[in-house]
Structure 1
Amino acid sequence: MTCLFRRIRFVLPTCLAGVLLAGCAPNPEIATVTVPRAAQHVSPAARALLPDPNPPYTPASYQSRSLAAYYGHMQDKLLASGKLRQDTGQGIAITADQLTKDFIDIAMKDEYMRGGSGTMHRSMDSVLRRWEKPIRVFTVFGATVPPTERERANALVASYVNRLARVTGHDIQMTTRENANYYVMFMGEDDRMPFGETLKAAIPEIDPATMNVFKHTPRNQLCVALTFREQNGSPVMGKALAMIRSEHPQILRLSCLHEEMAQALGLPNDSPTARPSIFNDDEEFALLTTHDELLLRILYDRRLKPGMTQEQALPIVRQIAGELVGR
């Protein structure tokens, strides 16, 4: 039996926007969970107490090296089965009707909502969510990430940030820790626990359950992404954090980076019919495709407004899709 390592995503738009799990569990699900919390301001004094984002290198433990071998085997299996394609999906036709459907499914649907008591309620339809203020991205590294890997990761993030800015037309740039509202963290198995102890200083919105997900991450959980609303109940994004495992081989690491950063812009769901797309749990594509760029262009088209319902957005989305790919 071929095992596909699918990502199971918990999107908590007002607190956590996504917890991406990938594993070999039978019949995995994709869950979207909404919790009523908003981004909070972090004082300069609190930021100064955060761990060094570029600490001295410390060799990884045996446990971390074993995980690296596990993920290397995972990547090899996926590549051998024709997965993790690194092209942009050229040659696959994209129609306006399909693009419209995919946008509604991916940008305007959640799968679950967490109530105030912590219980889970099904909540399929959502509203349009995106960033309105500039996005400032900063990379953070665990001590076990080798210096050469840090340089490579910084270059990959900077290149992808430039691409996302070009595609969306939104103001997205790399920045310093003092000005960041989007943290991209590359952490090994040995790094998350000590960093998690002080993470709440930068992300005070994180609840204990989410902190445990960050600190005690099972090996079938490839990546973790969190996004926070500007205000409680607001459809506007205010802060984001993504954690990428440093044990991942190159393609899996880049795949996590592409999907996490794009989803945190306001594409929280997946669709089994979206193709060619990274927002599809079949793992066919590893990197952002032309189809996915079109979804981002639609999301940040100024004719759409945060908070729009599906009914309000649908005719506008259909018009934009027609302009992008023809009728």
Structure 2
Amino acid sequence: MQTNLLNRCQAILPNIMLVALLLSGKAVAQERWQTDAYIQQSFIKIALEREYKESKHPKLIRWEKPIKVFFKSDMGDAQLQRNLLTIQMQHLAHISGMPISFTPYAKDAGILIIFTSYNTIEDKVRTYIGDPEKIRKALNEAVCLGNFRINKRSEITRAVIIIPVDFAREKARLLDCVVEEITQTLGLPNDSNDVFPSVFNDVSIDTYLSPLDYILLKALYSPHLRPGMTVKQAKAAFPKVLKDLHASGDIDNAASRVQIDSLRSYVGD
């Protein structure tokens, strides 16, 4: 009897193992945002298209030198704001590999981040960006503002972020502004409702960087890409970018890696 039972168990064991493997395979199946085609499509939309400025010949932009950040606040809890910026900056530096640190001098800064009130936002634009009429559409539509300059080599050399604290709080978007605007000034300037999950999707509920955003940042600062690349050139180079992302495990493990040292972990949401 015992021998027959043992034989039966041995006979069905391979089938049990097969079922377990199939179930395991389903459990680790890739999400849509982890597929190569979707990552490339999302990258082109976010990195090479523009939200408020149409361009017939868009080019890849990014920083090539360490980034210094100047912070100023005339509204709200300045220490809390600085803490939020510090965590977000460290998170972005960790993902992109681009050194990011504070400077007490505006003249030395690559990125200026200004926390202010809604009724002074146009004055801040005049002071730090220029004529408000040149960005009137953004002023009318956006909760917070991000603006950048590039040189002839398509390298980002300066960026300004203006966050109207009272208006952002009214819209429940203060954290969104901190996360999205700083991330965009690294070289992912566009918003698109076709890209999901992402802080760059205006109809999504994402406040913090998503796993896809993590992958897009990794891709942007890949050594296979360079500032000034056209859409055609970026697409041609992207298979090498994807190969590296697969080899490093950044695509498979994006959901967990994006949480490391993140603002979400700090806030506890």
Mark yes or no: TM-score above 0.5. Answer: yes
Look at both structures and tell me which one has the larger radius of gyration over its CA atoms.
Answer: 2
Q: Which has the higher helix share?
A: 2
- CA deviation digits over 1:165-201, x for unaligned, max 9? 000001111221242120111111344355456x15x
Give the Cα separation in 2 of the matches to 1:162 and 1:208: 31
Contact residue 124 and residue 162 of structure 2 kept, 8 A = no
Counterpart secondary structure, 1:99: helix
Higher relative contact order (CA 8 A, sep 6+): 1
Report the CA distance between 1:123 and its aligned residue: 2.8
Contact residue 112 and residue 123 of structure 1 kept, 8 A = no
Question: Matches of residues 55-66 of structure 1 in structure 2 within 5 Å?
Answer: none
Q: CA RMSD in A?
A: 2.7
Contact residue 116 and residue 165 of structure 2 kept, 8 A = yes
Match for residue 78 of structure 2?
150
Go from structure 1 to structure 2 and tell me whether the alpha carbon gap of 1:159 and 1:307 turns closer, same or farther (over 3 Å shift): same
Counterpart secondary structure, 2:34: coil
Counterpart secondary structure, 1:170: coil
Counterpart secondary structure, 1:274: coil
Give the Cα separation in 2 of the matches to 1:281 and 1:124: 23
Give the Cα separation in 1 of the matches to 2:137 and 2:230: 31
- CA deviation digits over 1:28-61, x for unaligned, max 9? xxxxxxxxxxxxxxxxxxxxxxxxxxxxxxxxxx
Match for residue 34 of structure 2?
94
Go from structure 1 to structure 2 and tell me whether the alpha carbon gap of 1:308 and 1:212 turns closer, same or farther (over 3 Å shift): closer
Give the Cα separation in 1 of the matches to 2:49 and 2:135: 25
Return the letter of the residue paired with 2:115.
Answer: F
Match for residue 163 of structure 1?
91
Q: Which has the higher strand share?
A: 1
2:71 aligned to which of 123, 132, 139: 139
1:321 aligned to which of 228, 233, 242: 242
Identity %: 29
Give the Cα separation in 2 of the matches to 1:185 and 1:283: 26
Contact residue 125 and residue 131 of structure 2 kept, 8 A = no
Consecutive unaligned residues of structure 1, counting only runs of 5 or more, are: 1-89, 114-121
Give the Cα separation in 2 of the matches to 1:140 and 1:179: 14
Asked whether 1:240 is paired with 2:159, we answer yes
Go from structure 1 to structure 2 and tell me whether the alpha carbon gap of 1:315 and 1:207 turns closer, same or farther (over 3 Å shift): same
Match for residue 169 of structure 2?
249
2:199 aligned to which of 265, 278, 294: 278
Match for residue 173 of structure 1?
101
Asked whether 1:223 is paired with 2:144, we answer yes
Contact residue 33 and residue 39 of structure 2 kept, 8 A = no
Give the Cα separation in 1 of the matches to 2:230 and 2:195: 21
Counterpart secondary structure, 1:130: coil
Go from structure 1 to structure 2 and tell me whether the alpha carbon gap of 1:294 and 1:188 turns closer, same or farther (over 3 Å shift): same
Report the CA distance between 1:308 and its aligned residue: 1.1
Go from structure 1 to structure 2 and tell me whether the alpha carbon gap of 1:321 and 1:246 turns closer, same or farther (over 3 Å shift): same
Contact residue 185 and residue 242 of structure 1 kept, 8 A = yes
Return the letter of the residue paired with 2:108.
Answer: N
Asked whether 1:109 is paired with 2:109, we answer no
Match for residue 219 of structure 2?
298
Report the CA distance between 1:92 and its aligned residue: 7.0
Counterpart secondary structure, 1:249: helix
Report the CA distance between 1:141 and its aligned residue: 1.1
- CA deviation digits over 1:95-153, x for unaligned, max 9? 1221111001111123665xxxxxxxx535511111111111121112xx14xx11110
Report the CA distance between 1:213 and its aligned residue: 7.6
Contact residue 106 and residue 269 of structure 1 kept, 8 A = yes
Give the Cα separation in 1 of the matches to 2:50 and 2:118: 30
